[in-house]
Amino acid sequence: QKEVEQNSGPLSVPEGAIASLNCTYSDRGSQSFFWYRQYSGKSPELIMFIYSNGDKEDGRFTAQLNKASQYVSLLIRDSQPSDSATYLCAFPSNDYKLSFGAGTTVTVRA
Amino acid sequence: NAGVMQNPRHLVRRRGQEARLRCSPMKGHSHVYWYRQLPEEGLKFMVYLQKENIIDESGMPKERFSAEFPKEGPSILRIQQVVRGDSAAYFCASSPLNRVSEEQYFGPGTRLTVT
């Protein structure tokens, strides 16, 4: 079983809609989770991190964590063409090593 | 405050040649991590270094790959006798502390193409 699995893409949403991205992880001991955005040909950029069960909102982004189900999601509200990118979820597999999912590519149609 | 710097940004090597990738961490950061991203895949951890020390190289292929972070100068990821399967984007990240947190910053990456 892979450490981190993301819902397969690509995901295409119309402008203004909600994009929903999901990620499951295998390590029950994981305490923190990260969402990175990666534009084509660019480096990953951290956009959200979450440590506690529940929701965390930052602007148009909401991260949701359910440790019992080993599930973390990212919602992008009012999607904009500039949100078109690949989104990677990640968690620390130890104190310093990040394990990444394969990513979900999102395309926002104008 | 300059971010993490990597060079070259693009590197083309023929099979059998050596590739040297450089990473200068952010000012004040003494912890460097190298990740590799193969096409259509997520990033995979390769190695974690502090100044003059390799802390964890569990993600590095056993042969042909080596890394260093000297007391002075950038961290170097070295790939000897490159093969086509080494073609990937190599990202370096740095942090001020030896813990994964929102403080781990990624450089722009080096895209290696082996012909």
Per-residue pLDDT of B3-17, as tens digits, reads 999 999 999 999 999
Spatial distance between the Cα atoms of A100 and B33, rounded to a whole number of angstroms:
14
Q: H-type helices in chain A, by residue range?
A: none
What number of C-beta contacts closer than 8 Å exist between A and B? 61
The fraction of chain A above a pLDDT of 90, given in percent, is: 59
Return the structure tokens found at B16. Answer: 């059998």
Nearest-10 Cα torsion for B51, B55, B59, B63: 80
Distance from CA of B108 to the nearest CA of A (A): 5
**pLDDT value at position B101?**
60
Which residues does A57 contact at the CB level (< 8 Å), separation at least 6? none
Is B14 in contact with B103 (CB distance < 8 Å)?
Answer: no
Residue A68 confidence (pLDDT) above 90 = no
The CA-based angle A47-B95-B28, given to 5 degrees, is: 125
Of residues A95, A101, A103, nearest to B100 (C-beta)? A95
Chain A residues touching residue B56 (CB < 8 angstroms): 96-97
Lowest model confidence (mean pLDDT) among A93-97, B22-26, B61-65, B101-105: B101-105
**pLDDT value at position A96?**
78
Is A93 in contact with A3 (CB distance < 8 Å)?
Answer: yes
Closest by CA to A91, choosing from A44, A20, A47, A25, is A25
**pLDDT value at position A28?**
75
A51-67: per-residue pLDDT in tens? 888 899 999 999 999 88
Distance from CA of B112 to the nearest CA of A (A): 12
Is B20 in contact with B78 (CB distance < 8 Å)?
Answer: yes
